[in-house]
Amino acid sequence: MPEPITQDTPRRRATDARRPASAHALAPPSGTRARHGGATRRGRHIAPWAFLSPAIVLFTLFLAAPIGYSVYLSFRTEKVSGLGLGSGSRQEVWNGVANYVSAVADTEFLASVGRIGLYGLIVVPVMLGSALLFALLLDARRTRARRFGRITIFLPYAVPAVISSLLWGFLYLPAVSPFYWVFDRLGWSVPSLFGPNLVIFAVANIAIWGGIGFNMVVLYTALKSVPSELYEAAELDGASQIGIAWRIKIPIVLPAIIMTFVFSMIATLQVFAEPTTLRPLSNAISTTWTPLMKVYRDAFTRGDLYSAAATSVVIAVATFVLSFGFLRLVQSRAFGQEER
Query: Quick check: helix, strand or coil at residue 329?
Result: helix
- Whether residues 150 and 214 share a domain: the answer is yes
Same domain for 67 and 192: no
Q: Are residues 175 and 59 in the same domain?
A: no
Is 13 a member of any domain?
A: no
| pLDDT score, position 1 | 45
**pLDDT recorded at residue 24:** 47
Give the relative orientation of helices 146-158 and 107-139 as an angle to the nearest 10 degrees. Answer: 160
Asked if residue 248 belongs to a domain, the reply is yes
User: Which residues have CB under 8 Å from 257's CB, separation 6+?
Assistant: 128, 132, 219, 250
Examine the domain organization and report whether 71 and 112 are in the same domain: no
Give a yes or no: residue 201 inside a domain.
Answer: yes
> What confidence score (pLDDT) does residue 87 get?
67
Residue 27 placed within a domain: no
The domain total for the chain is: 2
Residues 32 and 171: their CA atoms lie apart, in Å, by 77
| Four-residue CA torsion sign, 193, 195, 201, 204 | positive
Kindly state whether residues 216 and 280 are assigned to the same domain. yes
Please state the pTM of the whole predicted model. Answer: 0.81
Q: What is the pLDDT of residue 334?
A: 67
Q: At 297, phi and psi to the nearest 5?
A: -65, -45
Enumerate residues 6+ apart whose C-beta is below 8 A from 262: 323, 326, 327
Q: At what angle do helices 305-339 and 254-269 cross, to 10 degrees?
A: 160
Give yes or no: residues 185 and 218 share one domain. Answer: yes
Q: How far apart are CA 80 and CA 172, in angstroms?
A: 46
DSSP three-state, residue 180: helix
| pLDDT digit string (tens) for the chain, length 340 residues | 444 444 455 555 555 545 554 444 445 555 555 565 566 777 677 888 889 999 999 999 999 999 999 999 999 998 877 665 666 667 888 888 999 999 999 999 999 999 999 999 999 999 999 999 999 999 887 777 788 888 999 999 999 999 999 999 999 998 889 999 999 899 888 888 998 899 999 999 999 999 999 999 999 999 988 888 888 888 888 888 888 888 889 998 999 999 999 999 999 999 999 999 999 999 999 999 999 999 999 999 998 999 999 999 999 999 999 999 888 888 877 666 666 6
Q: Is 236 helix (H, G, I), strand (E, B) or coil?
A: helix
Pair 227, 235: CB distance under 8 Å = no
Same domain, 59 and 198: no
Instruction: Quote the domain boundaries for residue 75.
Output: 48-80+90-96
What b/e sequence results for 12-32 when a residue is b if at least 16 CB atoms lie within 10 Å of its CB, and e otherwise? eeeeeeeeeeeeeeeeeeeee
